[in-house]
Amino acid sequence: MSGCDCEHARANLEELIRGELREVDCGPIREHLADCPECRDEQQVFEKLTVAVRRACDGPAPPSLRDAVLDSMRALHD
């Protein structure tokens, strides 16, 4: 039995995948994932979602979005 349960593992999956956890905190979660198929499935979903979001956000923002943001910022100062 690892020092991590499903609730703890799932609550920290996003941070684990993004590399935002301290290494000491990763070990118990990784051990749990190795032994728990349900949490491992959840991990795979988060990993696929993370890759999809990164791909969608790759590259510069469209000019229309940039203009809308700048217009909104200007409106705040008026």
For residue range 57-66, list pLDDT tens digits in order.
888 878 898 8
Residue type, 8: H
Q: Are residues 41 and 20 in contact, defined by beta-carbon separation less than 8 angstroms?
A: no
For residue range 2-51, list pLDDT tens digits in order.
578 999 999 999 999 989 999 999 999 999 999 999 999 999 999 998 88
